[in-house]
Chains A and B, each alone.
Chain A
């Protein structure tokens, strides 16, 4: 009987743990996307005074959450996102309205959302 209770408890804990991890990842991706969109907006309007602080916000967030991302998604997807973030940083700090900077930002947003999309429990992912 004890084993049944332990199994039920483990299942519930696993489900709660997964839910919390997914929630945290979702919130991190949403924040990163929001900051990246803000940077895109600023580059489009050539207002470069805020871009550095926005990119720092993304980097801080990534440093805080990257271990969770690595544990859940594996190294490859996280390395892609990290590379993309570094490229964004280089282009953004040039403080020029360049198509490369905008393209890198768009790539970064897509990479972050792809990670989240791959973990969402849905029929497409399930199949």
Chain B
């Protein structure tokens, strides 16, 4: 029992260090320690399922240990900058002031094709459009385009829109009213009943109904079978 705990602890540290050593190429979306925890938990949980002779308690304890260590390590990373740097690495700037940083690319073991692939997934097809490109600690690429390639927004055009900016919410989903969403839209059941009465519908007739805080709504009726 103790042995599986110690083994889990050592494997967690070992795999985390190995993953950090392998670099950001191996990571996508998750932080290194999160990835390690996910991989290890799924593998540990699979063993007692496959092998019914193996005591379940070892797997349970190992999963508890991993989950607790992940929480504690992330708390430690939150408190200590140096620990965060050690455990998760640092963001790396691969395009700085519009210039490619070959040294950084080499240290990340990224080819230009890898960089272009990630730029394309960000909607950028010309490297000349990028002022800064930063490889985040989770391996994803964040880009900051040059001024002339930035999309024009309402602020730049001094356009002010009337009404609120909150997005619409689904207040009825498959014939069920979501009262939390209704509350978010600053509406109540009375309002909903009134609207439905004016449309000549019952809640059970509606597949989906969205509404925003201005009270603008859209109804999708259920298909008749």
Contacts and interface: CB of A to CB of B under 8 A. Distances in A.
A19 to B, nearest CB: 8
A17 to B, nearest CB: 8
B7 interface: yes
A3 B67 CA distance: 11
Nearest to B62: A14
A72 B61 contact: no
Size band of the interface chain B makes with A: 20 to 34
Contact of A14 (B55, B65, B75): B65
A72 B3 contact: no
B2 A22 contact: yes
A86 interface: no
Given A71-B55, A72-B57, A4 B72 contact: yes
B54 A18 contact: no
Nearest to B60: A14
Interface string B44-68: 0000000001110100010011011
Given A4-B75, A21-B1, A74 B54 contact: yes
A19 B2 CA distance: 8
A8 B6 contact: no
B177 interface: no
A18 B71 contact: no
**Is chain B's binding surface mostly helix, strand, loop or mixed?**
helix
Contacts of B10: 126
A37 B124 CA distance: 79
**Is chain A's binding surface mostly helix, strand, loop or mixed?**
helix
A73 interface: yes
Contacts of B105: none
Contact of A11 (B6, B54, B68): B68
Nearest to B76: A4
A70 B10 CA distance: 25
Interface string A7-44: 11011001100110110000000000000000000000
Interface in B1-24: 1-3, 5-7, 10
A7 B5 contact: no
A118 interface: yes
Contact of B6 (A19, A74, A76, A126): A126
Contact of B72 (A8, A119, A121, A126): A8
Given A11-B68, A14-B61, A14-B65, 13 more contacts: A4-B71, A7-B67, A7-B68, A14-B64, A18-B1, A19-B2, A22-B1, A71-B55, A73-B55, A76-B53, A119-B2, A120-B2, A125-B3
Interface of A: 3-4, 6-8, 10-11, 14-15, 18-19, 21-22, 70-76, 118-121, 125-126
